[in-house]
Amino acid sequence: MNGNVFDLAIIGAGAVGLSTAWKIQRHYPDMRIAVLDKEAEVSAHQTGHNSGVIHSGLYYKPGSLKARLCVQGRDELVAFCREYEVAHDVCGKIVVAATEDELPRLDKIFATGLANGLSAIERIDARQILEHEPYCRGIAGIWVPYTGIVDFPGVCRALAQLIPRVNRHSKVITGAEVVQLYRKGNVSYIETPRGQVQARYVIACAGLESDRIARMDGLRPQVRIVGFRGDYYDLSEQGMHKVRNLIYPVPNPAFPFLGVHFTRMVLGGVECGPNAVFVFKREGYGKTDFDFRDTRDALGYAGTWNLFCKHWRFGLDEYRRAFSKARFLKQLQRLLPGLVMEDLVPGRSGVRAMALAPDGSMVDDFAWETHQNAIHVLNAPSPAATACLAIGDEILAKAQEEFAWN
Ligand SMILES: Cc1cc2nc3c(=O)[nH]c(=O)nc-3n(C[C@H](O)[C@H](O)[C@H](O)COP(=O)(O)OP(=O)(O)OC[C@H]3O[C@@H](n4cnc5c(N)ncnc54)[C@H](O)[C@@H]3O)c2cc1C
C-alpha cells in the first residue's frame, strides 16, 4: 500500500463508517482519510443485509440519540438520495394491531411518535387499513407517511466515491482487515493484509466486530457484541400482489426488534422478516453456521446466559420458526391471513450486532466512547443505517470536542 500515512483512519465501510468519513472530509477538506474495510466491497455486513427501510423515528424513547438522530438522519438521507441518484421511495408504512391486547401498545407507540415530532402520523381503523393494504387484517393501526425504502449499498457506494473527490489523498481501502492496532507516541499503527496504515486519529465503526477492535486498541468496553440473525422469506410471483408497501406488527416492547414485517424492496420484490435468532458465528448468514471463537466469546460471557435466562421462551420460539416455514407463515398470517405456503420462498438473511451488558440487558441507544486518539462506536443498531448521516455529524462534533480539532 503506497502513501500509507493519513490524518485519520476509519475502520469499517458500512453506513456509519462511510457517513462519518464523508462528514469529516467535507468539514476538513485537507484531512487525509483512510477508510479500511476487511471485505472486498463496502457495506458487506449489516448495512448490506438489512431491510432497506428508512425508519421514521416512531418507536424510540423521546430524547434518546436514536430518536433525535433517526428523525434528523431520515430527512438528510432522503435529500442525499435525491442529490446523488440513489434509489429510494418515501412510500409510508402501516403498523397494525391484530388483537385487542395490542391496542395499549399501539397507543403508546402513537404517543411516542408524536413526542418525537412525527406530527403527520394518523391513527387508522380496520377500514382504513384495507385502503392502504387490501390483504391486511387488523383492528387498528398507525399510518406513518415518513417511512421509506432505500438502496443502502447504493448509499454506501455513493459515499465511497464522494470522499476521494473532496481530497484525492483520501482512500477507501477494501480487503484491509485490521488485525493489529497499536500506538507509539501520538500515532496509531494499523496492520492489515494490505500493509500498514499510520494515522494520527482513529474512528472505529466495525459493527459486529466493534468490541474486538475496541479491545485491540486497549479499551475495555463494558459490553460485548452478540449476533442475532434475521431470516427473510421473499414473496413469490403469485403472492407479490398481497403487499403494496410496508406492513409492520405492533412490536414486543421487551425486545429491540420490530417483529417480522412485510417490506417492498426498492430494487424489486417483497420480503417478509426478519426473525431474531442467536448466532454461533457473528458474520454467519447460514442457519447452521458456526465459528469456534465467536461461540466461545458469546457463551463465555455472563451477559449471554443472563439474556437466555430472561428470554428463553422467546428464543426457543424464534429458533423453531427459523427451521419451520409453517411456523413462520403462521406468524405472518396474523396480519395477512390470506397468505399461503406457495407465496413464500426462502430469501436472504442478515445478522444484527447487539451490544449486551453483563446483566443480559441489550444496550438500547447508540453508544460511542473515546480512548486516547480514538473514538469507538460500540453500539449502532437499527435505525443506524437510516440515521447514518446524522451519526456522522455527531461523531464529527465529538472528535472536534475530544481532539480539539478546530
Ligand atoms: C437484518 C437487519 C435488518 C435491519 N434493518 C434496518 C433497516 O431497515 N433500517 C435501518 O435503518 N437499519 C436497519 N438495520 C440496522 C442497520 O443495518 C445497522 O444499524 C447499520 O447498518 C450499522 O452500520 P455500521 O456501519 O455500524 O455496521 P456494518 O454495516 O456492519 O459495517 C461494519 C463494517 O466494519 C467492517 N469490519 C469489521 N471488522 C473489521 C476489521 N477488523 N477490519 C476492517 N474492517 C472491519 C465490516 O466488514 C463492515 O463492513 C438492520 C440490521 C439488520 C442486521
**Residue-wise pLDDT tens digits, 184-239:** 999 999 999 999 999 999 999 999 999 999 999 999 999 999 999 999 999 999 99
Bridge partners (DSSP) listed for residue 346: 233
Question: Can you tell me the distance from the alpha carbon of 66 to that of 156, in angstroms, rounded to the nearest whole number?
Answer: 20
Query: Do the domain assignments include residue 79?
Result: no
Query: Do the domain assignments include residue 66?
Result: no
pLDDT at 174: 98
pLDDT at 312: 76
In 293-395, where do the E strands start and end?
344-356, 367-371, 374-379
Give the pLDDT band of residue 257 (cuts 50, 70, 90): confident
- The answer to whether residues 163 and 234 belong to one domain is no
- The answer to whether residues 26 and 119 belong to one domain is no
Give the pLDDT band of residue 246 (cuts 50, 70, 90): very high
- The answer to whether residues 252 and 351 belong to one domain is yes
Query: Do the domain assignments include residue 176?
Result: yes
Question: Can you tell me the distance from the alpha carbon of 231 to that of 394, in angstroms, rounded to the nearest whole number?
Answer: 31
- The answer to whether residues 24 and 172 belong to one domain is yes
- The answer to whether residues 334 and 393 belong to one domain is no
- The answer to whether residues 354 and 380 belong to one domain is no
Q: Over 70: is that where the pLDDT of 60 sits?
A: yes
- The answer to whether residues 200 and 228 belong to one domain is no
Q: Which residues, at least 6 apart from 382, have a Cβ–Cβ distance to it below 8 Å?
A: 50, 55, 256, 258, 352
Return the H-helix or E-strand segment holding 112. Answer: helix 103-115
- The answer to whether residues 21 and 136 belong to one domain is no
19 lines ligand 1 (CB under 6 A): no
Which of 382, 389, 391, 394, when mutated, tests ligand 1's pocket best, judged by the most ligand atoms within 8 Å of its CB?
382
Relative to the CA of 45, which ligand 1 atom is closest?
30
- The answer to whether residues 241 and 349 belong to one domain is yes
Domain count, the chain: 3
382 lines ligand 1 (CB under 6 A): yes
Relative to the CA of 13, which ligand 1 atom is closest?
49
Q: Residues 300-335: pLDDT tens digits?
A: 999 898 888 888 777 777 878 777 899 999 999 999
pLDDT at 323: 78
Question: Can you tell me the distance from the alpha carbon of 52 to that of 273, in angstroms, rounded to the nearest whole number?
Answer: 12
- The answer to whether residues 228 and 178 belong to one domain is no
Ligand 1, atom 3, residue with closest C-alpha: 50
- The answer to whether residues 228 and 353 belong to one domain is yes
Query: Do the domain assignments include residue 81?
Result: no
Q: Over 90: is that where the pLDDT of 2 sits?
A: no
Q: Over 70: is that where the pLDDT of 93 sits?
A: yes
Q: Is the bond preceding 346 in cis, omega lying within 30 degrees of 0?
A: no
Domain of residue 253: give its range. 224-362
User: In percent, how much of the chain has pLDDT > 90?
Assistant: 88
Decide if 130 contacts 12 (C-beta within 8 A).
no
- The answer to whether residues 391 and 294 belong to one domain is no
Lowest mean pLDDT among 103-117, 267-281, 370-384: 267-281
Whether the pTM exceeds 0.85: the reply is yes
